[in-house]
Every structure is written in structure tokens, then in C-alpha cells.
Structure 1
Amino acid sequence: MDNLEYVLIVMAVFSVFWYLCLYTNSKRLSPPLPPGPWGLPIIGNLPFLQPELHTYFQGLAKQHGPIFKLWLGAKLAIVVTSPEVAQEILKTNDAIFANHDVPAVAPANTYGGIEIVWSPYGPKWRMLRKLCVNRILSNAMLDSSIELRRGETRRTVRSLADQARAGSPVNLGEHIFLMILNVVTQMLWGTTVKGEERESVGAEFLELVTEMNGLLLKPNISDFFPVLSRFDLQGLVKRMKRPAQRMDQMFDRIINQRLGMDRDSDGRTVDFLDVLLKVKDEEDDKTKLTMNDVKALLMDMVLAGTDTSLHVIEFAMAELLQNPDIMKRAQQELDKVVGTYKVVEEYHISKLPYILAIMKETLRLHTIIPLLVPRRPSQTTVVGGFTIPKDSKIFINVWAMHRNPNIWEDPLKFDPDRFLDKSCDFINGNDFNYLPFGSGRRICPGMNMGERVVLFNIATFLHSFDWIFPEAERVEVEETFGIVLKLKNPLIATPVLRLTDPNLYL
């Protein structure tokens, strides 16, 4: 017997032993673990994963049912594609599933995971969320920053108008990205960073966010075999620390500059940094913040606030370019409510139900966080008739739920009309057929800000311009999977001026 045959025999014996162990352990549980595909010893189902996880999981659900398991190395993953099971997790057993499953690299760029996204459920997390919802992202605070958002949008309109006069096609995604980047940073610290410094900070910020998001997406052996995480075998944590340290230094520069300013000067718009520094200085044990807490919250809003709003607007515009009748109907609504003799303002949005329906339909068809942020149960529990072990990784495939033909009529069609006859607020997480922002304790705290930014800018782009595809550039609306779903191909279109007064583009 040669060495190869010996190795194959040993692997075969080990495989049988591994499967027998798994089978025996699962049989001891009552109820059992969810069903799922067979994997290989040690590495489980890892070799069979496909890059587009949301569609891969959708296919497995058709074989194994609305709740199934996968072994990702030593990590047990549970995938849910049913509104009923999602409700059991996000509502009935919300407290048990209130923790997120933290990637090994995440603490390296979030000050040890002390911010809202990765912080464990408990008193500190509740304090941070309350702070965000009631003070930083409150309606009053968002109202006070209207001019900051308006200024960035008008700057983008002026740039697009120059291209329209030249008859030049534009990469609309790039314009949207720069606008959202500037909107978010202006709302965070806009009254501190100005002029030439604003451009350099924006460029540095873009570089760091791109690098950190790229590292978060890389498959990491530490996530599949947690016992190995202390060794950082791929060096991803070490690599993440470099941009995180540069981001920390940038935050320090901005904060030190703010501390040197007259924070009570009249006429200066209050931004998020103002609120955070004020809360930090308050002598209230219930909201005691350190400077690292302040920077961690800034990091949260930086990373979460740019990608999500950007891709919702980009997907919406891509669908409208593919559906010119829908675009025309939206423009007719805008002309009726706003007219062509003035520009869109945020106060118009409540009078634009079709624009709202376009946003909701975009969030349904192109769910920006397709698997939500994976949950991690704090104790073993029973969901959907199956045992869900403590510390397993829970994926909720909202993308597949939003395309389920048993729930949605003609689900692959972009049809905003489906939301016009809905009397309830379909974005608050109470309807488990539609969960673009999640539900329960961990529902996205930035929903209100995201809605404002997305609706205002979709309305502005449609009101200010007609949009046409250059003939050679017309492409289908295709997705690329990631933590955040993205448009696969660049969105190239030519803007055409449509307002009656040229001064409205100045």
C-alpha cells in the first residue's frame, strides 16, 4: 500500500467517524437541529459555498426548507428564509437573539466593538441606542441639519447640470457616492472641516472606508474556527489595524479642532459631533461616554451611513432608467407638487407618495443588507420546531423573503404600485414579509436619516433632469453580493435639463 492509498483510507475512516459523531449528537437533541446539506469533515460546507450567498441560500431553502443548517468549519450556521420563523427570532425570542455575531476583524476598527453594531446587548448598548435615536438621529436633530444635506445635493446638481449642457454621459454612481459621502461627513462634523481641508479629509475618509470594508468582506479562517482567532493566521486583524489607526488619527484631528472652537457661537449649525461632545461632558452616569465611545459612534455612522444610502439611490435610479414609464409618472407627481419653477425641498417629500413607493420597492427588490447582520443566540432555544444552539450564527435571508412568489405577486418585477395601497408603515419592522432594516431591538437606528437622504435625492435627480441611457451603455440591473448589496455594473446615463429656469441649476 503506497502513501496516497494510506492517506485516502485514513481520510475515509475519519470522515465516517466525523459524520457518525454529528449524527449521534444531533439525535440526542430534542427537537433536532434543522436539516441541511452534508459537508466534509472539519471544514463542513465551506468548499461548497458560492460567492452570491443570498441566491445560494435561496436555492438550498428550496431543498431543505425555510430553516436549515450549514457547518462553516467549526461554526454552526442557521439560515432562515421564512417570515414566520423570522418573527420567532426577531420578535418572540428577540432578547435571546439580540446579539450580533461579531466577525474577528470587526473589533479592530471599532475600538474593540464598543459601538452600536457589534456591542453586546446590555445596559451599555441600550444607552448608546437611546442616545442615537433620541438625540443624535432625532427628528429635531435631523431638521436642524436640513441645510447641510441641501447644500451637498445642490452642489451635485450643479455638477450634473454642467455635464447635461455638454451632452455628456456620467457615471451616476460616482456622483451619488461623492454626494452621500459629503452629506454624511457634513452631518457628522460639517461645521468644523471646511474649505480645502474638507476635500482632503473627504479623500482620506474615502480611502480608509474602502480599505476597511474590503477587509470585512474577506473570508477569514478565524470566523470559521474561532479557536484559531488568537493567531490571526491570515493577518487580517493586523491589516485592519492600519486603516483603523489612521481613521482614529483623523477623528482626533477633527475633535481637537472642534474643542478649540467656540462651541456656543451664534449662527453655527449644530452637527452630530457637537451632540456627542456635549453628552460626553454631561455628569450623568446613565450616559457616561468616553472619547473612544464618541469616536466609535462616529465610526458606526461613517461606515453604515455611506454605503446603504448610496446603493439604495443607485438601484432606484437604475430601475427607473430601465422603466421610463415609472420615471415619467414620478416626474409628473413632482411637477404637480413642486412645479418646474423651483427646486425640491425636504418638506415636499411627505406629499410625494409615488416617490416613497419607489424607495420601498427598491428596498424590496434589491434588499441592501440581504442577510441582515447575523445574530448570535445567547442561549439554546427552539425555533420553527428545531433546536438552535447557543452561539450559532443566524442568517435571515430577507432578500429571498422579498422575492418569495407566495408572498409577493410577480416578485421579480419592479412595481412601486404594490406599495401605494398599503396603509401601514412598511419600513418599521412590524410586517415580517418586508424587513429591509430588520426588526426588533436591533432594527437599524438610522432609518429616519436614511429615508430622508434617499427620498430627497431621488426626488431631486428626477425633478432636475430627464435621464437617458447612451445606447451602448444600456445594461440590466444586476447585483453583486456583499455585506451590502451593490449594483454590478457602473450606472452610465446622460442627464438632460428639464427645469424652466436655468438659474435653478446654479
Structure 2
Amino acid sequence: MDFFTSCLLCLLLTWLLLRAFNSVRNGSKSSDESKLPPGPRRLPIIGNIFDLGDKPHRSLAKLAQIHGPVMSLKLGSLFTVVVSSEATAKEILQKQDLIFCNRTIVDAVRASQHSELGLPWIPVSPLWRTLRKVCITHIFSKQKLDGNRYLRRDKIQQLITNVRKSCLKGEVVNVGQAAFDTTINLLSNTIFSMDLVDPNSSIAREFRETIRGIMIDAGKPNLADYFPLLRKIDPHGIRRRVSVHFEKVLNLFDKMFDERRQARKSQESISTLSNDVLDTLLDILEGGFEEFNKTHVSHLLLVLFVAGTDTTSSTLEWAMAELLQNPHVLLKAKKELEQAIGKGNPVEECDIHRLPYLQAVIKETFRMHPAVPLLLPRRAGSDAYLCEFKVPEGSPVLVNVWAIGRDPSIWEDPNRFTPERFLGSEIDVKGNDFGLIPFGGGRRICPGLPLANRMLHLMLGSLINSFDWELEGGISPNEMNMEEKFGISLQMAQPLRAIPLLILLTIRSHRPERLLNGSTVPSPETVVDEHGESVSNAAFEQ
């Protein structure tokens, strides 16, 4: 922050301080204020900002134990409400969803007009409904996802191949980074029919670093969010940095958009087009879809890449960390995979329904480590009441899904990783069970839920079924660093680094090969050699 900006900030804070003291001296509580939710004592000017700490989801959960499931705080100049129970989350996300459906805009996403064009931030409106319909119908519908499942199969196979190479070289695998690269390439193949992350490409590395930069900068504390008067001076420079990141990604997407549009105009290239998501979006634009243009397409793609990669990879990393810290759970998951699909085989999407324990592991990870622990902040569209407390119009509302996932009144022994709690249970993450809402709920539920759910099961199942794993440095499970760092997504403070080990066992696939006429024949027995490659029976016998 330069000297001029520092002076302005000091003058502004002094002015706010004088106003606060005058208000305390001359004012008294109105009858409406007495109906506001309870909360911790507030300091002049800054209010409860210091109460948040560096892990707000944990700090707010502790405060809720004192002040109740509907709690108010003053974050700078903003009166803010926090809900921390299953019942109050249901009120916000379902019963009063119409009042609380719009977002509080954080200053970082105002960069490049993204707050006016990005699906998560724009208010419920004809434009929002159009973008939402495009996502649900043309990108994440069951028919679309089933139609491009071969892409996910290829990306999972590439992931396994890369891990095997690390294994043969004796290299440690950064689990979160491997999942991040796989997820980006899956999305880029689904949308553009090409990989955007290649370890040998400088352009790909820059793209990956840009996406990471957006998540890091947008997740930093920002005075402009607590004191809207400071937005014009951008005191931390966060919006300026995020704007640079956004423009890099948007320019790349615009270039790919223009190249595809030009290719579609060329008659000789029509037969080579892939009919991917980008083609679908171009079809919609050329069909004259109201309130939908090229700029909206670029910002929609920006949302898909930023929101879809970091959250999925961080959840996969937490799942692997919990399995390595709980070897008995890992053993049960591996045994189920061996019995259902055969040891050493990658998981296919058609296998997921036959793997209830793997599903339970993913749900338990969502419960204990929700990727966005406070969800994206809602905003009261009008005066409302929660548990007889008034929520004034315009107030930001935070839903602490991390606290709900650790609520002992819902979950027995909530701090223990126990997937068995979900076996035989109908609880899911689709926004109907408000004790487990990592994707949110109501009309603002994350549209990418179906794809994220498939990817997590495929990646986690394939990684633990294709390799044995041990922690770097030979540390024991009890010595693992499970600390977290707070941002837009909840990351491990210390990236999970683990050593993959080849499974040197004779294996037989339990999945029969399906012939064109619908009949099946059993898969042949295979053996994994010392290099981790499958060889035929004949070659093995020779």
C-alpha cells in the first residue's frame, strides 16, 4: 500500500471512529435493534473482524455455541448474520430461499465486471435463468455427462499412468496437484476437446498458475469487503491483481471462441468438429438466444474452471489424507473395490453404484471438509425473521456448513472420520438433507454437482485401487499434518505428499467384457509385472 493510500485510509478510519463514538454517546437502541440476533461484543469501527481469526469457520462455530444458531456480527460497517444449524440452514436455503437467493458481492469478483456477468454472483433474473438453463441442460445434464464419459475414462487413465511413472522413478506424488491437473484437463476436453494443462507446455503452466492465483487472491481478507467506502482505493490491491488474472483467462477463452467460430464457417472443416460444449454454446448463440452473448459465454467458462477445479481437487486431497490417517478405513475401501471390480482396475462410472463404502467415504469427506465451509455469502432481499430474530434487508448471511457437519446433535462423534455412518443411509449431497450441504441448496445449489460427484469417485477409487500408498518420509498416520488454511476453498495447510507403491499381484477383472450382441465373456486373468504393466497369461507362462 503506498503512502497516499495509507493516508486516505487513516483519515477514513478516523472519521468512522468519530461517527461511532457520537452514535454511542447520543443514540440508544431502537425497538427493532432489540430484535436482532445475539452476538459477541463489538469493538468500535472494526466490530467483530478480529473474532474471525485465520480460520473463520472454526471461530464462528465456537461463537455459535455461546450465542446460538442464529448469530449477528458487525464486520466493519456491515451487519452480518451467521446460521450454524441444520434447521436454520433449511430456512435460508429452502423455506425462505426467495428472500435469501441473491449474493453478497465480495470486492475481488468486481474485477472485469465479473460480478455482473458471472453466474454465482448475478441476481436471480432472466439472465441468471438463461445461464442456469445452459448449465443444467447443455453441460451437466445426465444425458450430456453420460455421452462424454469416455473423456473422464481417458483422463483417469492418464492420471494413473502419470502416478505409475512417478512410482517407477521413486518420486513422491503431490496428490492435490495431480487431482487439480486432471480436473482442469477433464473440463478443457469437455468444453474445448483439448488439454489445457501439459507439464511440458509453458502456456499450460501459466494457465494453471493463473487459476491458482485467482483462488489465492480472492480468498484473502479484504478491508474493502468490510468497509465499502474503501472500494474505490482497493487498499490491498486485490481487485487489481484478480483483474489481471481474469483478463488472462478471458482473453484465452475469447481466442478459442473466435477460432472455433471461424472453423465452423469453413465447410471443409465441419466434419472434424467435435460437437463439444463450445460447439453447443455457439449453437445457442447462433440460434438467437435472448440475453446471451459472447461475453456471457467467456464469463461462464471462467466460472466453470475456477469453481470446478480447486474445490474438486481439494476434496480429493482431503479424502486421500483421511484414508491414509485411518488405515482401517482404507483397507475396507480397497477390499470393496477388489471384490466389486478387481484389484488394480480403474473405476468406471457404471461401477460407482456398486461401491457403497466408497460413496460413504466421499460423503464423510464432504461432512468433515466441505470445500467452501461458509458457502458463498447470501444477502437478505428484504427484512426477514429467523427464529424470531430480525434480519435487516441487505444483510450478508453466512451459512456455516462446516459447523453443521460437526454438530453433535446431528452426528455421533462428529470429529471422527467414520464412513460407516452413511451405510444404509439415504442422506445425499443434493441439497435435500440440510445436515450435509457442501454444494449449497435451493435455487442457488452448485450446478456442477453431478460432474464433481462423478469425478471424485472415479479419481479416489482408481488411485486407491491401482496403488498402495505410504506417507513421505516414512511418517506414521498419527504424525500427519491435518491443519487447514482458509480461503475461497478449504485447503490442506501442508499439501499431501504420498508415495505410490505398485501392486505386484495376479489380478482378475470382475468386470466382464460386453459384446455388441449384449452377451458377455469373462475378462482374462492378467499379471502386473515389476514395471507395473499388465501382461497376458501366455507371456507370463513363457
TM-score, L = length of structure 2: 0.85
The counterpart of 2:136, out of the listed 125, 133, 136, is: 133
Residue 28 of structure 1, CA deviation:
2.2
More off after superposition, 398-407 vs 212-221: 212-221
Which residue identity lines up with residue 481 of structure 1 in the other structure? F
Higher relative contact order (CA 8 A, sep 6+): 1
Which residue identity lines up with residue 285 of structure 2 in the other structure? K
Residue 266 of structure 1, CA deviation:
4.6
* Contact 1:111–1:292 (Cα < 8 Å) also in 2: no
Structure 1: unaligned runs, 5 residues or longer? 1-9
* Contact 2:366–2:436 (Cα < 8 Å) also in 1: no
The counterpart of 1:253, out of the listed 252, 255, 261, is: 255
The counterpart of 1:364, out of the listed 364, 367, 371, is: 367
Which residue identity lines up with residue 308 of structure 1 in the other structure? T
Deviations 1:148-177 (A, max 9, x none): 222222112112112223444322222222
The counterpart of 1:396, out of the listed 394, 399, 402, is: 399
Name the residue aligned to 1:478.
483
* Contact 1:71–1:77 (Cα < 8 Å) also in 2: yes
Which residue identity lines up with residue 399 of structure 2 in the other structure? I
Q: Is 1:185 matched up with 2:183?
A: no
Name the residue aligned to 2:497.
492
Cα distance in structure 2, aligned partners of 1:198 and 1:273: 25
Cα distance in structure 1, aligned partners of 2:328 and 2:131: 44
The verdict on how the C-alpha distance between 1:194 and 1:128 changes in structure 2, with shifts beyond 3 A counting, is closer
Q: Is 1:40 matched up with 2:40?
A: no
- 1:61-100 aligned at under 5 Å gives the runs 61-100=64-103
Residue 205 of structure 1, CA deviation:
1.5
**Sequence identity, in percent?**
34
The verdict on how the C-alpha distance between 1:330 and 1:366 changes in structure 2, with shifts beyond 3 A counting, is same
The counterpart of 2:145, out of the listed 142, 145, 161, is: 142
Name the residue aligned to 2:286.
281
Residue 368 of structure 1, CA deviation:
1.1
Cα distance in structure 2, aligned partners of 1:168 and 1:359: 27
Name the residue aligned to 2:311.
308
SS of the residue 1:28 aligns to: coil
- 1:167-246 aligned at under 5 Å gives the runs 167-191=170-194, 199-246=201-248
Name the residue aligned to 2:517.
none
Q: Is 1:108 matched up with 2:111?
A: yes
Cα distance in structure 1, aligned partners of 2:492 and 2:244: 28
SS of the residue 1:450 aligns to: helix
Residue 203 of structure 1, CA deviation:
1.6
The verdict on how the C-alpha distance between 1:151 and 1:48 changes in structure 2, with shifts beyond 3 A counting, is same
More off after superposition, 244-253 vs 51-60: 244-253
Structure 2: unaligned runs, 5 residues or longer? 1-14, 507-526, 535-542
* Contact 2:180–2:312 (Cα < 8 Å) also in 1: no
Residue 479 of structure 1, CA deviation:
1.8
* Contact 1:158–1:505 (Cα < 8 Å) also in 2: no
Residue 104 of structure 1, CA deviation:
1.6
- 1:400-479 aligned at under 5 Å gives the runs 400-422=403-425, 424-474=426-476, 475-479=480-484
Which residue identity lines up with residue 260 of structure 2 in the other structure? R
Residue 184 of structure 1, CA deviation:
2.1
Cα distance in structure 1, aligned partners of 2:470 and 2:198: 34
Cα distance in structure 1, aligned partners of 2:27 and 2:86: 29
Residue 195 of structure 1, CA deviation:
10
SS of the residue 1:113 aligns to: helix
Residue 19 of structure 1, CA deviation:
3.6
- 1:7-26 aligned at under 5 Å gives the runs 17-19=22-24, 23-24=28-29
Cα distance in structure 1, aligned partners of 2:88 and 2:197: 51
The verdict on how the C-alpha distance between 1:421 and 1:442 changes in structure 2, with shifts beyond 3 A counting, is same
Name the residue aligned to 2:168.
165
Name the residue aligned to 2:123.
120
* Contact 1:19–1:41 (Cα < 8 Å) also in 2: no
Which residue identity lines up with residue 284 of structure 2 in the other structure? V
The verdict on how the C-alpha distance between 1:444 and 1:73 changes in structure 2, with shifts beyond 3 A counting, is same
* Contact 2:36–2:72 (Cα < 8 Å) also in 1: yes
Name the residue aligned to 2:343.
340
Residue 144 of structure 1, CA deviation:
2.2
Deviations 1:203-241 (A, max 9, x none): 222121122222212222221122332343443323322
Cα distance in structure 1, aligned partners of 2:302 and 2:192: 12
The verdict on how the C-alpha distance between 1:492 and 1:194 changes in structure 2, with shifts beyond 3 A counting, is closer
Name the residue aligned to 1:5.
none
Q: Is 1:55 matched up with 2:58?
A: yes
Which residue identity lines up with residue 460 of structure 2 in the other structure? I
Q: Is 1:290 matched up with 2:296?
A: no
TM-score, L = length of structure 1: 0.90
Residue 262 of structure 1, CA deviation:
4.4
Cα distance in structure 2, aligned partners of 1:198 and 1:242: 24
Residue 201 of structure 1, CA deviation:
4.0
More off after superposition, 71-80 vs 343-352: 343-352
Cα distance in structure 2, aligned partners of 1:266 and 1:345: 30
CA RMSD of aligned residues (A): 2.5
SS of the residue 1:438 aligns to: coil
* Contact 1:31–1:386 (Cα < 8 Å) also in 2: no
Residue 496 of structure 1, CA deviation:
1.4
More off after superposition, 307-316 vs 273-282: 273-282
SS of the residue 1:96 aligns to: helix
Cα distance in structure 1, aligned partners of 2:160 and 2:256: 28
Cα distance in structure 1, aligned partners of 2:459 and 2:26: 56
Residue 265 of structure 1, CA deviation:
4.2
Name the residue aligned to 1:4.
none
Number of aligned residue pairs: 491
Which residue identity lines up with residue 309 of structure 2 in the other structure? T
SS of the residue 1:260 aligns to: helix
Cα distance in structure 2, aligned partners of 1:112 and 1:417: 41
* Contact 1:376–1:391 (Cα < 8 Å) also in 2: yes
